[in-house]
């Protein structure tokens, strides 16, 4: 991956985080974290991965963000200086779900091991 793409990804991540924090103060969205941004090699599409604290509100939050994607993109355009502002596509980052599942499996294995020792 080129150094320029990496810099653009980090810049977009920072700026979208700022936009969510300062411009989109919608309490119905809850606690959202921008976890990652992946930009296509031609810088036309940016996949923005978000983590939503309340698991049951994920689809709702994704719909709300989808409704304001144009606003987010225009705010992004006013904050950064690149030739083309990429099309923003938002996705739920469910990495923490996998981590939690693995931890529970490990705990269960250890619990079963302790039962076998007695």
Domain 3-117 is of which CATH architecture?
Answer: 2-Layer Sandwich (3.30)
Per-residue CA distances from 110 to 13, 93, 113, 118 (Å): 39, 28, 5, 13
Give the Å distances, CA to CA, from 115 to 102, 108, 112.
20, 11, 5
| pTM, full prediction | 0.80
- The pLDDT tens digits of the residues spanning 48-91 come to 999 988 888 889 999 999 999 999 999 999 999 888 899 999 99
Could you tell me what percent of the chain has a pLDDT over 90?
49
User: Predicted confidence band at 36 (pLDDT cuts at 50, 70, 90)?
Assistant: very high
| Cβ-contact 92, 50 below 8 angstroms | yes
Q: What is the mean pLDDT of residues 5-21?
A: 93
Stretch 106-117: mean pLDDT: 77
Does position 34 have pLDDT exceeding 80, yes or no? yes
């Amino acid at each position: 991956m080129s150094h320029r793409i990496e810099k653009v990804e980090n810049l977009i991540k920072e700026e979208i985080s700022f936009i969510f924090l300062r411009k989109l103060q919608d309490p119905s969205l809850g606690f959202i974290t921008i976890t990652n941004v992946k930009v296509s090699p031609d810088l036309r599409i940016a996949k923005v991965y978000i983590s939503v604290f309340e698991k049951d509100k994920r689809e709702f939050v994704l719909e709300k963000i989808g409704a304001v994607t144009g606003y987010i993109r225009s705010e992004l355009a006013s904050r950064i200086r690149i030739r083309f502002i990429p099309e923003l596509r938002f996705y739920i980052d469910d990495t923490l779900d996998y981590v939690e599942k693995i931890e529970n499996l490990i705990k269960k294995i250890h619990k079963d091991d302790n039962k076998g020792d007695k």
